[in-house]
Chains A and B, each alone.
Chain A
């Protein structure tokens, strides 16, 4: 298939999809035009193998989405901060999901030592986790170590999420739920991570990060 054919394919498939969707769910497009009330904010990896709405079996209108390289959150990243602010404060989503996955190229890059230009500062949080958990990661097989780093990255993302006042406030006032997931690219299955923490940690966080 030539390069132009590939693009034409996507545009043609869109026509088919629009016709099919309109037939199966006649009310969907008119409803969508009126506004969005998604229940889920999804923060995941850009990886082509992790299409959130498809793998969740959901429809347009269900999931607000931010996807970046290796589902990394940086405290000062304006892009993800704007997404979280809009989804939690303005759209009032009920769940925030951070989803990591197996076979992640960003995780693999951070486990290696090759210079990658502009990607290096972006992947820095992964290297920081590698440093913090060096002994554990070195004791594992390469595949296990990649999975472990992907899990640590999700936990770190949740930690950063809970440092944002907009999130703390929504958890407190209306029971916003936060979830960590790992997606297994080789089986298509989503696995929830255990993200419980001691009560003390939650209290300390409120003192340190809650603002008025």
Chain B
């Protein structure tokens, strides 16, 4: 098929950016192998990450980089606006595998200020298939309507919703049978809520009280051991 000069330029540019990736990858392998010749051999034996990280898909928040962790150290799930909808099979499978099979010690939910997903949920705009996903954030707003409505500054209200959304995701993780049962038997995992500040690159711990939240949700959501394979 004939291509216009414009299309050819675009194709060439795409080809170059694609090749750069493989070049970078080879460099990374060389650097790793130089400092530890057995680095990849060890990884091939299996993974024992201490952390499960659930964060936003946003390109500005790369999990390993912001936590300073290497390959093999953190199991990662990233979706739009770091949501943990209780009926989402995708995130529920990740939590189940990380807790029951990898026996992670910590689960971190990491949100970030300037989150496009949270911003969209504060805006009366029809976004097609994104609507049902982002509606979860609107539900978080509804749960904290009084607190949020009292904040007069728009940015401050936006930031607070980012934080509350993280806390809600933590709560939904604690509702799972996998987390409740593992904690009862092993005293782990512990669930944490963080927010990443893009402007400075720093993580802020929201100090979610795991024990208290667990006690709180148990009245209604308690799922003690018995059915091993439940979620």
Give the interface of A toward B (CB within 8 A): 3, 6-7, 10-18, 21-22, 29-30, 32-33, 36, 38-40, 46-58, 60-69, 74, 77-83, 85-87, 90, 94-95, 102-103, 105-106, 115-119, 121-123, 174-175, 177, 179, 185-190, 192
Contacts and interface: CB of A to CB of B under 8 A. Distances in A.
Contacts of A3: 105-106, 188, 190
Given A105-B101, A175-B7, A79 B25 contact: no
B165 interface: no
Contact of A189 (B21, B25, B83, B133): B25
Nearest to B48: A48
A67 B89 contact: no
B62 to A, nearest CB: 4
Interface of B: 7, 10-11, 14, 17-18, 21-22, 24-29, 32-33, 39-41, 43-44, 46-47, 49-51, 57-80, 83, 88-94, 96-98, 101, 105-106, 108, 114, 116-117, 128-130, 132-134, 188, 190, 192, 198-203, 205, 228-231
A175 B12 CA distance: 11
Contact of B68 (A17, A39, A116, A179): A17
Nearest to A14: B203
Nearest to A123: B93
A14 B66 contact: yes
A41 to B, nearest CB: 8
Residue in A16, A56, A68, A80 with the greatest tally of chain B CB atoms within 10 Å: A68
Given A46-B94, A67-B78, A115-B229, A29 B201 contact: yes
B106 A188 contact: no
A49 B72 contact: yes
A43 B90 CA distance: 13
A24 B132 CA distance: 41
A28 to B, nearest CB: 8
Contacts of B79: 66, 79-80, 82-83
Contacts of B10: 174-175
Contacts of B28: 54-57, 188
Given A11-B205, A189-B25, A105 B97 contact: yes
Contacts, number: 248
Contacts of B90: 68-69, 77, 79-80, 122
Contact of A177 (B18, B80, B190): B18
Best-buried of B92, B116, B198 by chain A (most CB within 10 Å): B198
Given A3-B105, A10-B51, A57-B27, A32 B76 contact: no
A187 B40 contact: yes
The CB with the most chain B CB atoms within 10 A, among A21, A22, A48, A86, is that of: A48
8 contacts: A6-B106, A29-B198, A55-B25, A86-B117, A117-B96, A177-B18, A189-B26, A192-B22
Contacts of B47: 47-49, 105
Given A17-B201, A56-B24, A60-B61, A85 B130 contact: yes
Contact of B60 (A14, A36, A77, A86): A36
A164 to B, nearest CB: 10
